[in-house]
Amino acid sequence: MKLSVWTYEGPPHVGAMRVATAMKGLHYVLHAPQGDTYADLLFTMIERRNHRPPVTYTTFQARDLGSDTANLFKTACKEAYDRFQPQAMIVGASCTAELIQDDPGGMAELMGLPCPVVPLELPSYQRKENFGADETLFQIVRMLAKPTDRTKHITANLIGPTALGFRHRDDITEITALLEEMGISVNVCAPYGSTPEDITRLGAAHFNVLMYPETGEAACRWMERELDQPYTRTVPIGVGATHDFIKEVAGITGLAPKIDTSRLRLPWYSSSVDSTYLTGKRVFLFGDGTHVTAAARIARDEMGFEVVGMGCYNREMARNIRALAKEFNVEALITEDYLDVEARIEELAPEMILGTQMERHIGKRLGIPCAVISAPVHVQDFPARYSPQMGIEGANVIFDTWVHPLVMGLEEHLLHMFRDDFEFHDDAGASHHGHAAKARVETPEPAQVEPAPTSDNVIWLADAEKELKKIPFFVRGKARRNTEIFAAERGVQEISIDTLYEAKAHYAR
Amino acid sequence: MNSHAPPPGPRGCLDTPVLKQRGQHEVFCGLTGIIWLHRKMQDAFFLVVGSRTCAHLLQSAAGVMIFAEPRFGTAILEETDLAGLADAQEELEREVARLLERRKDIRQLFLVGSCPSEVIKLDLARAAEKLSAQYAPHVRVLNYSGSGIETTFTEGEDACLAAMIPALPETDERQLLVVGALPDVVEDQMLDLLGKLGIDNVKVLPARRADSTLAVGPNTVFALTQPFLGGSLAALGRRGARHIPAPFPFGEEGTTSWLRAVAMEFGVDLTLFDTVTHAPRARAKKAIAKAAEHLDGKSVFFFPDSQMEIPLARFLTRECGMEAIEVGAPFIHKGVVGPDLELLAEGPTLAEGQDVDLQLERCRAAHPDLTVCGLGLANPLEAEGLTTKWAIELVFTPVHFYEQAGDLAGLFSRPIHRRNALRLEAAE
């Protein structure tokens, strides 16, 4: 038993729903109690889908348990087929139905429904949403995809985008365009927008683009083995990764690497003098493994940030993230407990967080700016405008998104100059963020200053603590931390104003 | 339309046959009630003993992550817990100990049963008893089930309140107990009105904090402010308290009828009653009339959601001039909504339970001007050209009593008004 307040991932059947809802002509019969239908609203409200997810829930109740939940499932299956006439069905159980052991897969098989039925075994008490999506797509592909002749011209499948995915809708458009420039067309994009009939044609592509390892890797591996289709390992998020991706595709296909960078603005925006203030900003990264990996490279190599910590919530990616963290010389945090993440952020006191909607809330609480880079998603992660993460436009979008929460260049200098100004002060926040301006509250000097908060037995003297408060909020955490490390390394027990400025000189960049 | 439609036949819809279908239910489970109950009871923590699905539901229903550390959480059952039950009890005790250690502000802890905990027959009553003995007197531990196999949406609040009732101390005092979680501002308005009527010994369940002087006994009379409290009604009956049946305090008519039923019980002078209610009644009527301009003559179709459907249909048909086509409710408890049914003119189909696909077919065929439904159905129906009102907002928004009557009507008129206001096509 593990106490959880907020979760990064839903249960595995929600992953299966993300696959089913992304597809057309597929229907999911889910053996589940009344109440599990809440999952519909994830798609209709968060993603603003204009149709119900193609899911029939058996919605059994307590009184059905003693009698015949198995029959309830069979009736639901039969009626779902009759009503929706799908090309294929997937069947499975949610966490409660798993306990009553009705074996939906076995029952559906025996019913002899006039369409292929894919049984799903998703262990609800061990695995989570991403596994559910990955496994569901894999099982659908395994049952329906058959070896077939390759298309005459070079084509690729896009594998992994699902409903409720972080910017999947727009990434598909971006990658399709990237491939198009090299003369490669998309054979099938799955699961997003595909039908079971399309899945049978997967084998016609020359290779697969694995867009999101979280939700597409098992299918890609199977197709590599059974359909002899290589798949791409580079996820093209960021400028460097996009160039690497093009190279990888060229290597697979034998085509010349070609990319039109006329619309790519990140490199110049990052080099322009206005961006000098971004140099060495200390950032903490958290999200799914794929997005964190991409963000780490962008943060360091393309924005000039300093990555001070990173982690992911999906254990499937733990090994990759640990290796990456080692390369960045930081400690990896692999956890699904947001309190652990909050504690780590508090400890590291970064100047910015690149995380999920959870970290956005942590940032709000701790007063640290945050940009969202990964699922779990929120209605805000489905903007009306075109807003991919991948490819050329993705890099542009990322530049804007990451810079937005920060106090901008010149404003940062003004804050340094006028830090005690009555309007232009720490609590006023960045001027381009819409909230009411707060006047600075003059607090009378306390007669006796309490011993300042300490860490590792280092004491802040009152004067030093006061001086620290004069430093603008967005660098104060870093100043405090650096000074404490500086003091600890030298065995200094008390931090004075001198210690503060000695530390400042020591860490000058 | 306004000064009340004439009373319907002597029994209204009370004897109308109820359509009962069994199929897919598109409803929340009772765990959802935690979202508002934990705001109402400020020293309570709700610990769901369940699965990742339960945790995910709470987070999704709460509109994702409103509060940094909310006073609810899920003890997620894992493979090892399912293997042996004795183990699960110990695990639960360990998690509770850890929680209470971190949250010293917690005075009431609810262990909330879920579908998986019910199916594996985890004995939360025993756990609550044991923990209560361990943490008394600082923390009281109670249990109830919010599972989807036993409760539908608002029934979670009913189960929670019903679990608190047997634990209340006994009293012989003549008192009024008002039952149902209301937003504080609405509760204060209600207490003010009752006070002006001379009814002073009023208690509210649930109380805002655990250390209130709430007690119950044979001289307690009680009124419900929510139509989904059938279980609490029965539990209070077992404590010897007596129910004051009344229409629910939605709209001007509902509020007046509710207050009058209470006033009659306490022998309040009718002149005083009129004096006290005159001004707020006039205000409520005026506010409703404004919103009702968009509603008059329009038809409404209710999908089952919160059990508030019958009183709300009564309000919309009698005070806003609407016509009800179908009124679906997860349960129809005539001992609770009888007075509202009596006021609801015959005509609409009354439906209990649900087969959502069949109900959607009826709704499409009727093409109502307004469809009241859950969040899973609202956008799909809007995309089909129907105007909808999400039902959950009726539970989360202050809608009771006079001063909110206009807001309540506004919740229904806004979608219609919006559809009329939008001009999304090219000018002709």
Q: Tell me: the pLDDT tens digits for B280-301? A: 999 999 999 999 999 999 999 9
Query: Which residues does chain B have within 8 Å of residue A163's beta carbon, measured at their own beta carbons?
Result: none
pLDDT band for A211, please (50, 70, 90 cuts).
very high
A72-75 LR contacts (CB < 8 Å, sep 24+):
A73/A29, A73/A31, A73/A102, A73/A104, A73/A107, A74/A107, A74/A111
Query: B99 and A37: CB-CB below 8 Å?
Result: no
Query: A37 and B26: CB-CB below 8 Å?
Result: yes
Q: Which pair of structure tokens corresponds to residue B10? A: 């002597």
Strand blocks (E) in B2-67: 18-22, 44-50
Query: Which residues does chain B have within 8 Å of residue A57's beta carbon, measured at their own beta carbons?
Result: 24-25
| pLDDT at residue A379, as a whole number | 87
User: Closest residue of B to A66, CA-based?
Assistant: B119
More confident residue, A111 or B59: A111
User: Closest residue of B to A362, CA-based?
Assistant: B68
Query: A358 and B52: CB-CB below 8 Å?
Result: no
| pLDDT at residue A413, as a whole number | 58
Is the pLDDT at A13 greater than 90? The verdict is yes
Is the pLDDT at A106 greater than 90? The verdict is yes
Taking residues A316-344, what's their average pLDDT? 96
Q: Of B32, B47, B43, B48, which Cα lies nearest the Cα of B99? A: B47
Query: Which residues does chain B have within 8 Å of residue A126's beta carbon, measured at their own beta carbons?
Result: 78-79
Cβ under 8 Å to B: A residues 329-388 = 339, 357-358, 361-362, 364-365, 376, 378
| pLDDT at residue B4, as a whole number | 60
Q: Which pair of structure tokens corresponds to residue B427? A: 């000018």
Taking residues A109-119, what's their average pLDDT? 95
Query: B77 and A52: CB-CB below 8 Å?
Result: no
User: Closest residue of B to A342, CA-based?
Assistant: B68
Is the pLDDT at B66 greater than 90? The verdict is no
A43-47, A367-371, B104-108, B336-340: range with highest mean pLDDT: B336-340
Q: Say which of B26, B78, B88 has its CB closest to residue A2.
A: B78
Kindly state the helix (H) or strand (E) to which residue B202 belongs, with its residue range. strand B202-205
Is the pLDDT at B193 greater than 80? The verdict is yes
Q: Of B132, B127, B340, B131, which Cα lies nearest the Cα of B227? A: B340
Taking residues B90-116, what's their average pLDDT? 93
3-state secondary structure at position A152: coil
Helical residues (DSSP H) of A356-494, grouped into ranges: 357-366, 391-403, 409-417, 462-470, 473-489
Taking residues A75-91, what's their average pLDDT? 97
Angle between helix axes A239-253 and A168-181 (nearest 10 degrees) is 50
A6 touches chain B (CB under 8 A): yes
Query: B377 and A44: CB-CB below 8 Å?
Result: yes
Neighbours of B243 (CB within 10 A): 16
Taking residues A461-470, what's their average pLDDT? 86
CB pairs under 8 A between A and B: 187
3-state secondary structure at position B271: helix
Non-local (6+) Cβ contacts of A419 within 8 A are A425, A426, A470, A471, A472
Q: What is the ipTM of this complex?
A: 0.92
3-state secondary structure at position B367: coil
Q: Of B203, B201, B264, B268, which Cα lies nearest the Cα of B236? A: B203
Is the pLDDT at B2 greater than 90? The verdict is no
Is the pLDDT at A422 greater than 70? The verdict is no
Query: B149 and A34: CB-CB below 8 Å?
Result: yes
Task: Tell me the catalytic residues of A.
Answer: 274
Kindly state the helix (H) or strand (E) to which residue B349 belongs, with its residue range. strand B349-354
User: Closest residue of A to B91, CA-based?
Assistant: A1
Distance of CA B288 to the CA centre of its chain: 22
Q: Which pair of structure tokens corresponds to residue B312? A: 């709300």
pTM, full prediction = 0.90
Q: What is the pLDDT of residues B415-428, one digit of tens each?
A: 999 999 998 888 76
A68 touches chain B (CB under 8 A): no
Range scoring the smallest mean pLDDT among A392-401, A424-433, B88-97, B272-281: A424-433
| pLDDT at residue B28, as a whole number | 93
Q: Say which of A10, A34, A64 has its CB closest to residue B52.
A: A10
pLDDT band for A448, please (50, 70, 90 cuts).
very low
A59-64 LR contacts (CB < 8 Å, sep 24+):
A59/A32, A59/A33, A59/A34, A59/A35, A59/B23, A59/B24, A59/B25, A59/B148, A60/A31, A60/A32, A60/A33, A60/A34, A60/A97, A60/B149, A61/A33, A61/A34, A61/B148, A61/B149, A61/B150, A62/B118, A62/B147, A62/B149, A62/B150, A64/B149
Q: Residue B303 carries which DSSP code?
A: P
Is the pLDDT at A474 greater than 70? The verdict is no
Taking the C-alpha atoms of residue B96 and residue B110, their distance in angstroms, rounded to an integer, is 11
Query: B27 and A13: CB-CB below 8 Å?
Result: no
Is the CB of residue A245 less than 8 Å from the CB of residue A232?
Answer: yes
| pLDDT at residue A412, as a whole number | 63
Kindly state the helix (H) or strand (E) to which residue B220 belongs, with its residue range. strand B220-224
Query: B75 and A83: CB-CB below 8 Å?
Result: no
Q: Which residue has the tokens 């995915």?
A: A165
Q: Residue A299 carries which DSSP code?
A: I
Question: Residue type for A111, please?
Answer: M
Average pLDDT score over chain B: 93
CA distance B372 to chain A (A): 15
Q: Which residue has the tokens 């603005």?
A: A265
pLDDT band for A500, please (50, 70, 90 cuts).
confident
| pLDDT at residue A509, as a whole number | 55
Query: Which residues does chain A have within 8 Å of residue B52's beta carbon, measured at their own beta carbons?
Result: 4, 7, 9-11, 95, 124, 128
pLDDT band for B81, please (50, 70, 90 cuts).
confident
Is the pLDDT at B50 greater than 90? The verdict is yes
Taking residues B325-337, what's their average pLDDT? 96
| pLDDT at residue A442, as a whole number | 47
